[in-house]
Amino acid sequence: MPTSMRLPRASGVLLHPTSLPGPHGSGDLGPAAHHFIDWLKGAGQSLWQMLPLGGIGPGNSPYMSSSAFAGNVLLIDLAELQQRGWLGADALAHPPPADPRRIDFATMVPWRMGKLAEAARAFAAGASAADRADLAAFCSAQASWLDDYTLFMAQCDATGWASWTTWPAGLAQREPAALAAARVQHAEAIGFWQFCQWAFFRQWAALRAHAHAQGVKIVGDAPIFIAHQSAEVWARQDLFELDADGKPTVVAGVPPDYFSPTGQRWGNPLYRWSAHAAEGYAWWTERLRQTLALVDIVRIDHFRGFADYWEIAADAPSAQTGQWKLGPGVALFDAMRAALGDLPVIAEDLGVLSEPVKNLLRDSGFPGMSILQFAFAGNASDPFLPHNHKPHSVVYTGTHDNDTSVGWWAAATEHEQHHARAYLGTDGHDIAWALLRAAAASVADTAIHPMQDILVLPSDCRMNLPGSASGWWVWRFEWSQVHPWHGQRLADMTKLYGRA
């Protein structure tokens, strides 16, 4: 095991930026994000874990982005663009009515995108020479992914987001003449997407610098799979299991499990691992390099898929039928470590683990995850119980895919409740904080606390329900819900268990 991968004993909070307060329909990279970092410091926390920072896809999921490299333009702080003079004085005065505790994507997305278009036009008409030079430098530095992404987004917008496999054949198959003609045709739209990515990366750099100044590190998230309707699949069709027309032959998912009796058919195209191996896993290395340019530590989602993964026929209606296939194994991470050095990675190793998965976790040296909500269904041998935790691991009460701890408790079986009461020494009235305390006391080097559990929130505040296609990723909080005792209790607990 690479000893340099050992994370220091610390704790932090799981909260996606979209869940932050703010006046424009969803959280973003603006003042509330900076204030949240200040709150984390005051609460004794040194980690802020987020979900993927890429654009949202079907069902508004951040795990189905149109790019594995681009930032989510809906996170751009519009007020900062206004301060730079690219939005008028009254441009943000009348946002659509919104529930401050839920995101209405149907109104938020078009309104924010309209304001970004206004800002981009103002920039094009009157930006300073220094800002134009900064944008040009950004486009040059990020050209390896940005050129494909901006053309992809422009063409998607022009075709109403029709599948790229339905585009004119020359463009779908990336013939040089067709690409060149499309760049001319969509020059203005390409400029818009360049401006948006520049704004995102510029604002993100300021936020991360503020986090570092406050002693807070950012934990990011890299989904193992990417969407078929994405710039990278279109750009590198040879690296995915596609037919001659670019359509997936097999897709990703998981068989029936804890979350779903019929499994989960995610629908992402699967990697053609032989092609990745032939080029020394250069695509994945660049993807991780780009991610680690944004965050300090990265959680790799569905880590088990690198050992073995569930392959579903593209025409299968569910994930119940499929087969396990071997992934690239440790060779992938050896190649990335050779190129990038030590990898600050957390492996999401949840689910029924095969021997290849256990071996890969051991050989990679990455810390795995323990979920306390899973700990009480069995007996004292359950690996998720704190006395069975390993120091080189990360403990959560639950993740974005779990119910809140209050909701979990309400739905728990009689056995689970009895076991938890006895184990945690609680009558259950303060179950969320009893679990938070158990996580903080664990020997696991890292403890991550969902904000919903800190605020003792019920089921309707959970972030996601795996296998459910719509209605999720909408939760937000208001500062009025956060009381001084929340931060003080968290700080005291963190100090008590040596995570300060």
Q: Are 395 and 402 in contact (CB under 8 A)?
A: no
Catalytic residue among 232, 401, 445, 453: 401
pLDDT of residue 108: 98
Catalytic residue among 77, 80, 221, 301: 301
- Spatial separation of the C-alpha atoms in residues 142 and 185, rounded to whole Å: 22
Q: Are 249 and 314 in contact (CB under 8 A)?
A: yes
- Spatial separation of the C-alpha atoms in residues 156 and 240, rounded to whole Å: 20
Cross-strand partners of 250: 313
Catalytic residue among 348, 416, 445, 453: 348
Per-residue confidence of the chain (500 residues) as pLDDT tens digits? 444 468 899 999 999 999 999 999 999 999 999 999 999 999 999 999 999 999 999 999 999 999 999 999 999 999 999 999 999 999 999 999 999 999 999 999 999 999 999 999 999 999 999 999 999 999 999 999 999 999 999 999 999 999 999 999 999 999 999 999 999 999 999 999 999 999 999 999 999 999 999 999 999 999 999 999 999 999 999 999 999 999 999 999 999 877 788 888 999 999 999 999 999 999 999 999 999 999 999 999 999 999 999 999 999 999 999 999 999 999 999 999 999 999 999 999 987 778 889 999 999 999 999 999 999 999 999 999 999 999 999 999 999 999 999 999 999 999 999 999 999 999 999 999 999 999 999 999 999 999 999 999 999 999 999 888 899 999 999 999 999 999 999 999 999 999 99
- Spatial separation of the C-alpha atoms in residues 357 and 355, rounded to whole Å: 5
| Residue 276: its H or E element | helix 273-278
Taking the alpha carbons at both ends of the chain, their separation in whole angstroms is 26
Q: 66: alpha, beta or left, given left = phi > 0 and alpha = psi -120 to 50?
A: alpha
* Cα 328 to Cα 111, 286, 307, 313, 488, distances in angstroms: 43, 17, 6, 20, 45
Query: Is 301 known to be catalytic?
Result: yes
pLDDT of residue 4: 45
pLDDT of residue 258: 72
Query: Is 243 known to be catalytic?
Result: no
| Residue 291: its H or E element | helix 282-294
Q: pTM to 2 decimals? A: 0.97
Query: Is 257 known to be catalytic?
Result: no
pLDDT of residue 249: 98
pLDDT of residue 260: 80
pLDDT of residue 5: 63
